[in-house]
Structure 1
Amino acid sequence: MGTNEGKAAIFDLDGTLLDSMDVWHQVDVDFFRSRDIELTDDYMGIVNAMRPDEVARYTIEHYGLDDTPAELTKLWDSMVLEAYGHTVEAKPHAVEYLDYLKSSGARLAVATSLSPQVRGIGMEHVGIRRFFDVVISVEDTDARSKHSPEVYLAAASRLGVAAQDCTVFEDLLVAVKAARSAGMHVWAMEDDYSLADRPAIREAADGLIADFADAPRKL
């Protein structure tokens, strides 16, 4: 029997498995510059945990834009697809860690807010799609947000693993707290875009890592 037989690991993508948060910042910079709008310092912090359609609605309402949410989402997706397909890389030792977990008997899932097209091209580009038994989005749940543990519980259900036997890897404070509220173990990935929340993340999570070489071998 493998070291992690009967256990599961559930991974976020942006900022956790993928070193991709700079992509979204650059998209924001380029988009706001094209509209001649000042990008406020708090924008990324506000929209980080939102779904793409929620970000679009917030942006339209906050900045008084004439676009529809669907139009903005389509535009942003086209801007990030190039980066996710060519320049985004995996976090340090992520591929090796996923390979280890898979060979140790663990079931693996992705729980993300990314659209199917963006997450698909990103996972294929860095070579990690083959490791996962389940890929689920907040869009597939009633809560439709990582402020709720529903996406993690849905992933566990699809994997056939009890919540208490799941370990979640996340980078955002709201997501760490949501996964903990589901009775799951949580390890947090350091990301510069969560720097202000790092003390709270460290307190809420089972552990904090900057490199998957330091991630737990036994879930």
Structure 2
Amino acid sequence: MLENKKAVIFDLDGTLVDSMWIWREIDIRFLGKYGLQVPEGLNDELEGYSFHETAVYFKKRFELPLTIEEIMETWNHMASEIYVNEIPLKDGVQDFISLLKERDMKLAIATSNSRKLAKDCLRANGILDAFDYICTSNEVPRGKPEPDVYLHAAKMIDTKPEHALVFEDIPYGLLAGKRAGMEVCAVKDSYSERAVKEKREIADYYIDTYYDILNGTYETLKK
């Protein structure tokens, strides 16, 4: 998997850390402050909404006594607290990163999350200094599944796409890596289990945990 590779670029949520549950939990805690419950199907209704659009939706639908800016500020504060205190690394991440650093490989993050939350999470888990660059979707014209965030991350760490290996947990992230001309490894995550067939069809490799790489038991997927 690492042969001829000079860099590894990781997605963050669901790939390096177990965090895909966080936004639903924030909805539960946030609405709970106002004696409200999360309606069935809320996430489906908000699919594709920006952070600001979601705040506008919440204010109107739940008649909240806050400004749009106050809603977003509250969510950011709640998310930071959870990322720092409740989000663990996936199994084997620490050891895998140590191996990569021993091989003098460059490391980057390519995430749709904010830089602040990414740094808060990585710092809390003791691995922030391992990364040469953190690239967010806000820095590029198009988000995943377009390749922009991965191409920009590779450029910022001075690595050609063919020399970079990508780790992702969901199909559109894997597609972004492939469209960038990189090999991609799919990472098991409970929140994308329903898409595991699609993940395997896109990816070059598949792991249950990062120990699979350390132990040489990862899957190479035939194309």
TM class by shorter chain equals: 0.7 to 0.9
Q: How far apart are 1:80 and its partner, in Å?
A: 1.5
Mapped to 2, the partners of 1:196 and 1:215 lie a distance apart of: 23
Mapped to 2, the partners of 1:8 and 1:45 lie a distance apart of: 38
Change (3 A) 1:69 1:151: farther
Q: How far apart are 1:104 and its partner, in Å?
A: 0.9
Q: How far apart are 1:127 and its partner, in Å?
A: 0.8
Mapped to 1, the partners of 2:127 and 2:3 lie a distance apart of: 19
Change (3 A) 1:127 1:4: farther
Matched, 1:43 2:39: no
Mapped to 2, the partners of 1:130 and 1:4 lie a distance apart of: 24
Q: Report which stretch shifted further, 153-162 or 62-71.
A: 62-71
Mapped to 2, the partners of 1:136 and 1:62 lie a distance apart of: 29
Hey, what does 1:21 align to over in structure 2? Answer: 20
- Post-superposition Cα deviations, 1:96-135, rounded to whole Å, max 9, x if no partner, equal 1011011112111011122222111110111111111111
Q: How far apart are 1:178 and its partner, in Å?
A: 1.4
**Partner secondary structure for residue 19 of structure 1:** coil
With normalisation by structure 2, the TM-score equals 0.83
CA contact (8 A) 2:115 2:134 kept: no
Hey, what does 1:80 align to over in structure 2? Answer: 79
Question: 1:134-149 alignment to 2 at 5 Å?
Answer: 134-143=133-142, 145-149=143-147
Matched, 1:98 2:94: no
Q: How far apart are 1:86 and its partner, in Å?
A: 1.6
- Structure with more contact order per residue of length (Cα contacts < 8 Å, sep ≥ 6): 1
CA contact (8 A) 2:28 2:37 kept: no
Change (3 A) 1:86 1:167: same
Q: Which runs of 5+ in 2 are unaligned?
A: 217-223
Mapped to 2, the partners of 1:113 and 1:159 lie a distance apart of: 18
Aligned partner (choices 53, 58, 76) of residue 57 of structure 1 = 53
The percentage of aligned residue pairs carrying the same residue is 29
Give the root-mean-square deviation of aligned CA atoms.
Answer: 2.5
Question: 1:128-207 alignment to 2 at 5 Å?
Answer: 128-143=127-142, 145-207=143-205
Q: Report which stretch shifted further, 111-120 or 163-172.
A: 111-120
Query: 2:78 is matched by which residue type in structure 1?
Result: M
Q: Which runs of 5+ in 1 are unaligned?
A: none
CA contact (8 A) 2:59 2:68 kept: no
Mapped to 2, the partners of 1:98 and 1:172 lie a distance apart of: 21
Which structure: larger Rg? 2
**Partner secondary structure for residue 50 of structure 2:** helix
Q: Report which stretch shifted further, 22-31 or 11-20.
A: 22-31
Q: How far apart are 1:75 and its partner, in Å?
A: 1.5
With normalisation by structure 1, the TM-score equals 0.84
Q: How far apart are 1:64 and its partner, in Å?
A: 3.4
Mapped to 2, the partners of 1:13 and 1:72 lie a distance apart of: 24
Q: How far apart are 1:37 and its partner, in Å?
A: 5.0
Change (3 A) 1:151 1:70: farther
CA contact (8 A) 1:6 1:105 kept: no
